[in-house]
Amino acid sequence: MARSALKSLQSLKDLAGRASRSGGRPADETASDPLIGELRAALSPDRVRSDGAQKALMKKDASVFEGGVSGPLCYPESTAEVQAIMKLAEKYDRGVVPRGAGTGLAGGAIPLGAPIVIAATKMNHILEVDLDNRIAWVEPGVINLDLTKHLAPMGFHFAPDPSSQQVCTIGGNVANNSGGPHCLAYGVTNAHVVALEVVLPSGEVTVLGGLDAEPLGYDLRGAFVGSEGTLGFTTKVAVTITPNAPDVRTLLLSFDTVRDAANTVSAIIAAGIVPAALEVMDQRITQAVEAYVGAGYPTDAGAVLLAEVDGLADGIKIDAERIGDIGRQHGATNVRQAETDHERALLWKGRKTAFGAIAQIAPDYYLHDTVVPRSKLADVLEQIYEIADRHDVLVMNVFHAGDGNLHPLLVFDGREEGKLDAVHAAGAEIVTASVAAGGVLSGEHGIGVEKQAYMDLMFTDDDMDHQARLRRAFDPVCRANPGKVLPMGHSCADIAALRSVPADVWG
Ligand SMILES: Cc1cc2nc3c(=O)[nH]c(=O)nc-3n(C[C@H](O)[C@H](O)[C@H](O)COP(=O)(O)OP(=O)(O)OC[C@H]3O[C@@H](n4cnc5c(N)ncnc54)[C@H](O)[C@@H]3O)c2cc1C
């Protein structure tokens, strides 16, 4: 299975290669191009860009995947403008790629086949906060953390808190059904979205879901959340807002081994405690973070567990004590509780800037994302270290342990001959090992182009054809984010969309 996944990954790289051989500049993208003229008339000249510099910025996201080729880049300011773009995409038979902040790690926002890029950047308004009903309506380009900052004086926050929350958008969170350290108790994005206004690839505007507790009919909102831009463009989101907990306690537990930390996580959940967060970092990443921000982590520990409980003071005092006891029973060498808000913030700063710390070690990293049953965490982690060693790739582990959501971080220098291939080969084995342990392909980063090659590890041909049929119910010609999620062969219209651009784009 690993071999077939690698083979498919190779075809993906070939596909991307075909795109990049064009030089990244479709022949028709000149100022006199009628599509650009019509887009500029519908928006405004300064909000439709086709210059090389802008398009070069759009051809990648935060993943390691290269080779995107962007068509015109549009910055709409309203639903009506998104609708106008979709209509023009239909008229000129072009694909469209929704884009938020481009922090995705699975290549979801990479433009394949010179599609029109629709960037949500200028649709960044918090439209309404309804405290009585605990709902906020926001535009898709609102930055995740900006919503929480806006709500803070009212005593509320937006619960999903990806580590990228300082830059990623709510639209991107919805598309990837993003998670974060505090989603263990509160649930990932899907649990916080009640309604979506979307522009379908036909140009039709519709609202999925609703503010009622039980909206009528099929849960099409649920189908749209996590659809990675393949069903249309989100123009407004109604999210639930969460009251800030009256009290919070944050603990840092040190262990000699990652196995002890992982076993402690399983034991905490088995004891019936559902902490707000349970994050594990191994020694390599802890040392990197400590050198980077000085968060107060012990650099001699084999692993640390960051555990947070929130709620009423009396209850969480007991939970914190129980977590400490369970940790000690499973080998914790030290249990420390943050004494001040500053100390707590520093511990979280360390966790949330872990990926930034890597720059001191090597110029490149590939952050993987798989889920395994919690009880298998320790075994799979041992396999991951063995796989990385065998491929001579440095691996660090920092992960949402409570969810069983692993994030092996492969750290490397892409300028070294053959290194990227070794990283991909190690990654393929890690994904395969996670699925073999009863896990799944992605916990939160999505499939994008990254995991397409692995879809057959989890889904039969029939499963994928059913997914393609759902997709075509929203988008009969696969105009929205063509070439993503479903592997070629399960969504033939993707190929049509990719080929609807001038031949020389593909070389
Ligand atoms: C350092 C770092 C840490 C991260 N930590 C986490 C983490 O803890 N948890 C986590 O879940 N993710 C994490 N991520 C991944 C990423 O930040 C999330 O997936 C995020 O939700 C992407 O948002 P974005 O605005 O950058 O979207 P983009 O990358 O621009 O797009 C992502 C996908 O959403 C689609 N999309 C974007 N906007 C819209 C829209 N308006 N309508 C329809 N589709 C749309 C795109 O087509 C694409 O498929 C991390 C990334 C980095 C770089």
**With 90 as the cut, is the pLDDT of residue 251 above it?**
yes
Q: Packing angle between helix 419-436 and helix 2-21, nearest 10 degrees?
A: 140
| Residue 210 Cα to ligand 1 middle (Å) | 24
Tell me whether the CATH fold assigned to 10-121 matches the one assigned to 126-243: no
Confirm or reject: Cβ of 475 under 6 Å from ligand 1.
no
**With 80 as the cut, is the pLDDT of residue 411 above it?**
yes
The model's pLDDT over 434-458, given as tens digits with 9 standing for 90+, comes to: 999 999 999 999 999 999 999 999 9
Q: Which pLDDT score is estimated for 28? A: 42
Interatomic CA distance for residues 172 and 154, integer angstroms: 25
Confirm or reject: Cβ of 184 under 6 Å from ligand 1.
no
Q: Taking the domains of the chain in order of start, what are their residue ranges?
A: 10-121, 126-243, 247-356
- For residue 169, the ligand 1 atom closest to its alpha carbon is 25
Fold of 10-121: 3.30.43
| Residue 209 Cα to ligand 1 middle (Å) | 22
Mean pLDDT over 335-350 rounds to 94
Instruction: Supply φ then ψ for residue 244, to 5 degrees.
Output: -65, 140
Q: Which pLDDT score is estimated for 489? A: 77
Q: Which pLDDT score is estimated for 94? A: 93
Question: Comparing 234-243, 387-396, 473-482, which segment has the lowest mean pLDDT?
Answer: 473-482
| Residue 104 Cα to ligand 1 middle (Å) | 4
Burial class (CB in 10 A: 0-12, 13-18, 19+), 51: exposed
Mean pLDDT over 300-304 rounds to 97
| Residue 390 Cα to ligand 1 middle (Å) | 31
**With 90 as the cut, is the pLDDT of residue 8 above it?**
no
- Choose among 243, 223, 253: nearest CA to 469: 223
Angle at alpha carbon of residue 355, lines to 354 and 356, rounded to 5°: 95
| Residue 105 Cα to ligand 1 middle (Å) | 7
The model's pLDDT over 165-201, given as tens digits with 9 standing for 90+, comes to: 999 999 999 999 999 989 999 999 999 999 999 999 9
DSSP state of 440: B
Q: Do residues 274 and 185 touch, judged by C-beta distance below 8 A?
A: yes
Q: Which pLDDT score is estimated for 67? A: 81
The mean pLDDT of the chain is 90
**With 70 as the cut, is the pLDDT of residue 38 above it?**
yes
Residue that is written with structure tokens 């051809």 in the block: 59
Q: Which pLDDT score is estimated for 352? A: 86
Q: Closest residue (by CA) to atom 19 of ligand 1?
A: 104
User: Architecture of 126-243 per CATH?
Assistant: 2-Layer Sandwich (3.30)
Residues 6+ apart with CB under 8 A from 157: 148, 151, 241, 242, 244
Q: Which pLDDT score is estimated for 504? A: 42
Q: How many alpha carbons fall within 13 Å on the CB side of residue 382?
A: 10
Confirm or reject: Cβ of 474 under 6 Å from ligand 1.
no
Residues 6+ apart with CB under 8 A from 420: 64, 412, 414
- For residue 61, the ligand 1 atom closest to its alpha carbon is 29
What CA–CA distances, in Å, run from 59 to 40, 288, 363, 372? 21, 30, 20, 32
| Residue 172 Cα to ligand 1 middle (Å) | 4
Q: Which pLDDT score is estimated for 506? A: 35
Q: Packing angle between helix 377-390 and helix 258-270, nearest 10 degrees?
A: 160
Share above pLDDT 90 across residues of the chain, in percent, rounded to a whole number: 80
The model's pLDDT over 53-101, given as tens digits with 9 standing for 90+, comes to: 888 888 899 998 888 999 999 999 999 999 999 999 999 999 999 999 9
pTM of this structure: 0.91
Confirm or reject: Cβ of 104 under 6 Å from ligand 1.
yes
Domain 247-356's class? alpha beta
Mean pLDDT over 323-348 rounds to 96
Pairing of strands 205-209, 116-119: unpaired
Q: Which pLDDT score is estimated for 15? A: 45
Mean pLDDT over 134-154 rounds to 98
Mean pLDDT over 311-332 rounds to 96
**With 80 as the cut, is the pLDDT of residue 117 above it?**
yes
Confirm or reject: Cβ of 369 under 6 Å from ligand 1.
no
The model's pLDDT over 252-269, given as tens digits with 9 standing for 90+, comes to: 999 999 999 999 999 999
Q: Which residues pair with 230 in a beta bridge?
A: none
Q: How many alpha carbons fall within 13 Å on the CB side of residue 312?
A: 2
Confirm or reject: Cβ of 115 under 6 Å from ligand 1.
no
**With 50 as the cut, is the pLDDT of residue 399 above it?**
yes
